[in-house]
Amino acid sequence: MKKIQVSHLSFGYDKEKKVIHDASFAIEAGSYTTIIGHNGSGKSTIAKLMIGLLESDTGVITVDDLELSEANIHEIRDRIGIVFQNPDNQFIGASVADDIAFGLENHQVPSEEMQDIIEEFADRVHMRKFLNSEPTKLSGGQKQRVAIAGVLAMKPQIIIFDEATSMLDPQGKAEINALIQDIHSKSNLTIISITHDIEEVAHSDHVIVLDQGHIVLDGTPDEVLFHEQELIDLKLDIPFALKLQHALEAQGLQTKPCTTMEGVVDELCRLHLKN
Amino acid sequence: MPITFEKLTHEYNADTPFAYLALDAIDLSIEEGKITAIIGETGSGKSTLVQHLNALLLPTKGSLTVLDRTITAVEKPKQLKELRKRVGLVFQFPEYQLFEETIAQDIAFGPKNFGMSEEAALKQAQKMLQVVGLSEEYAERSPFELSGGQKRRVAIAGILAMDPDVLVLDEPAAGLDPQGAKDMMELFVRLNKEYNKTILLVTHDMEHVLTYCDHVVVVDNGHIAQTCDKQQFFKDSTLLRKLRINPPAVIRLRDELNQRGFSLPCDLIDMDTLAKAIADEVKAHE
């Protein structure tokens, strides 16, 4: 089932210069979609258009059966949560509990229900111990976990992660990636991740590649990632697994094409045992 | 002349209830003319360590020798200006520190501060723009019109404009896209090879350590856990795993295959030689 349908979307910050050109794509309900492209390719702009933070010049965005318009923008925003890149720019509360409460207050959740909801979602992101902590006492990864709790507390159906791990240290990155995987596996949330991490892309269900506001590739990781030369020309990374297969081929060893490290390891072990 | 730390201790808020021992009597020697990676978990003491290099922090105990200067805990060093000119320190996300109206003015700020004339400093700024890979036409533009990666280049050009012998960079590639990160790292390799700068790189990215660095220093909990060349360092990933640092993909592959029945030599650290060894071993079984 299609969760989001984008048709012929165009947008420019000023009239002469379009940053999104006639973009069309669809996202399946419950899927994990990654959007890649080098800086300035329009990835974040697309995210902002999808949640109605920016208004498109032409084109249609449909979420479920709702066509995004000024009339239903609030209804659509209730369905889509977004987590941004910089943990410091999205921490609004004076404490973790405050920060999670922010969205709930905006939705007039009665205060007697609020405490339970805050605790439930602080638990969900393993931040229960820190409910009264100030943001300055938290690491970047912890702040991002709080941001995710705030989004989850609004019970969205779709979450967009806009480079949510790119400013974190490796430990923070690993924590957040594991949390996103966990959320995805235990719910029917639709996840859209704007990322530079090609290994994350290889493990996703669906990849959209943007270049200068155009959608240039759209499909499963296997359908997209084997277009290696195209990815290189777009100044994007290619997965380690593919680089390795070329190196093995140069040594006269053919392996079954595969985009993930686990896949290549399994294949090599199979060949090793068979012989 | 190497950079040497001798029994250097740094304690924040010493003699107060908030005292915190960030570096505990470390001994360390960093070779001149090389690219050295400083790695460790967040909070391990690596930022404290590098801030001693231009005396931004002074040791609580012990001493440090950089270039021809020795900085000790006992006496307050005089004339730090000269040292700060020769050791350039680039903090994380330096693009947040740009402030001038034009890019050329921003780059010229440092050298002017160290006594260079306006004219010479602006000329130097032009030259540095080229070194960091931005064309001359950027000189008169506002630094705030640039992309994140370009801003960072301008910030680094500002440090390079003082022509330091030692360049210390804290996570210079963080937050850049893959191509931006690659360009940035290649810039440091060029500064090292062509301009003979000693480069210290605080980084979390093990792929960068493997691809671009010569030596590795591991800081753990205020101590030096290891210091060796790259080849030696990646022979064994036990320490990395203990520090919860993800080893580079090539090393993960080598270790994973060995765990599952291959016997690949552990001194293999680059893709091509590893691929050859894998291919040989698979074929040998035939």
B222: phi > 0 → left, psi -120 to 50 → alpha, else beta; which? left
pLDDT exceeds 80 at position B99: yes
Residues A248, B245: C-beta atoms closer than 8 Å:
no
- For residue B25, give the CATH number of its domain: 3.40.50.300
Take residue A152 and report the two structure tokens written for it: 């989850």
Tell me the C-alpha distance between A259 and A239, whole Å: 6
Q: Which residues of A touch B282 (CB under 8 A)?
A: 253, 268, 271-272, 275
* Amino acid at position B124, single letter: Q
| Cα–Cα nearest to A150, from A112, A191, A114 | A114
Tell me the C-alpha distance between A65 and A254, whole Å: 48
pLDDT exceeds 90 at position B196: yes
Q: Which residues of A touch B260 (CB under 8 A)?
A: 265, 269
pLDDT-based confidence at residue A16 (cuts at 50, 70, 90): confident
Sequence-separated contacts (24+) of A18-21 with Cβ below 8 Å: A18/A57, A18/A213, A19/A45, A19/A213, A20/A45, A20/A46, A20/A49, A20/A56, A20/A213, A21/A212, A21/A213, A21/A214
Residues B174, A167: C-beta atoms closer than 8 Å:
yes
Residue A39 is nearest to which of B177, B272, B281, comparing CB atoms?
B177
pLDDT digits (tens, 9 = 90+) for A56-84: 999 999 999 899 999 999 999 999 999 99
Report CA A166 to chain centroid distance, whole Å.
12
Residues with Cβ < 8 Å from A75, sequence gap 6 or more? Answer: A66
pLDDT-based confidence at residue B15 (cuts at 50, 70, 90): confident
pTM of the model: 0.85
For chain A, the farthest-separated pair of C-alpha atoms sits apart, in whole angstroms, at 68
Residue A167 is nearest to which of B175, B179, B286, comparing CB atoms?
B175
Query: Residue B260: inside a domain, yes or no?
Result: no
Phi, psi of B201 (to 5 degrees): -125, 115
- CB proximity A39 to B under 8 Å: yes
pLDDT digits (tens, 9 = 90+) for A123-151: 999 999 999 998 888 888 899 999 999 99
- CB proximity A53 to B under 8 Å: no
What percentage of chain A exceeds 90 in pLDDT? 77
pLDDT-based confidence at residue B246 (cuts at 50, 70, 90): confident
For residue B286, the model assigns a pLDDT of: 64
DSSP for B76-120, written as a single string: PPS-HHHHHHHEEEE-SSGGGG--SSSHHHHHHHHHHHTT--HHH
Tell me the C-alpha distance between B279 and B88, whole Å: 46
For residue B243, the model assigns a pLDDT of: 82
CA atoms within 13 A on the CB side of A80: 28
Parse chain A into domains and list their residue ranges.
Answer: 2-237, 239-275
- Contact present, B177 and A39 (Cβ < 8 Å): yes
Average pLDDT, chain B: 91
- CB proximity B260 to A under 8 Å: yes
pLDDT-based confidence at residue A275 (cuts at 50, 70, 90): low
Query: Residue B250: inside a domain, yes or no?
Result: no
- CB proximity B186 to A under 8 Å: no
pLDDT digits (tens, 9 = 90+) for B25-80: 999 999 999 999 999 888 889 999 999 998 999 999 999 999 888 999 876 777 78
For residue B96, the model assigns a pLDDT of: 80
Tell me the C-alpha distance between B189 and B195, whole Å: 10
How many residue pairs bridge chain A and chain B with CB atoms within 8 Å of each other? 93
Most confident of B66-80, B171-185, B190-204: B190-204
DSSP for B174-235, written as a single string: TT--HHHHHHHHHHHHHHHHHH--EEEEE-S-HHHHHHH-SEEEEEETTEEEEEEEHHHHTT
Q: Which residues of B touch A243 (CB under 8 A)?
A: 271
Query: Residue B130: inside a domain, yes or no?
Result: no
* Structural domains of chain B, count: 1
B53: phi > 0 → left, psi -120 to 50 → alpha, else beta; which? alpha
- Contact present, B222 and B45 (Cβ < 8 Å): yes
For residue A270, the model assigns a pLDDT of: 93
pLDDT exceeds 90 at position B226: yes
pLDDT exceeds 80 at position B148: no
Enter the ipTM.
Answer: 0.82
Residues A171, B42: C-beta atoms closer than 8 Å:
yes
Q: Which residues of B touch A169 (CB under 8 A)?
A: 41-42, 204
pLDDT-based confidence at residue A274 (cuts at 50, 70, 90): confident
CATH architecture of A2-237: 3-Layer(aba) Sandwich (3.40)
Residue of higher predicted confidence among A3 and B77: A3
For residue A195, the model assigns a pLDDT of: 94
Residues A251, B178: C-beta atoms closer than 8 Å:
no
Lowest mean pLDDT among A210-224, B191-205, B241-255: B241-255
- Contact present, A19 and A11 (Cβ < 8 Å): yes
- CB proximity B244 to A under 8 Å: yes
Tell me the C-alpha distance between B63 and B70, whole Å: 7
- Contact present, A103 and A77 (Cβ < 8 Å): no
Average pLDDT over residues B143-151: 83
Domain that holds residue B76: 3-100+156-230
For residue B224, the model assigns a pLDDT of: 97
Q: A193 to chain B, minimum CA–CA distance in Å? A: 15
Residues A196, B178: C-beta atoms closer than 8 Å:
yes
Average pLDDT over residues B186-197: 95
Residues A268, B285: C-beta atoms closer than 8 Å:
no
Query: Residue B119: inside a domain, yes or no?
Result: no
pLDDT digits (tens, 9 = 90+) for A194-237: 999 999 999 999 999 999 999 999 999 999 999 999 999 998 98
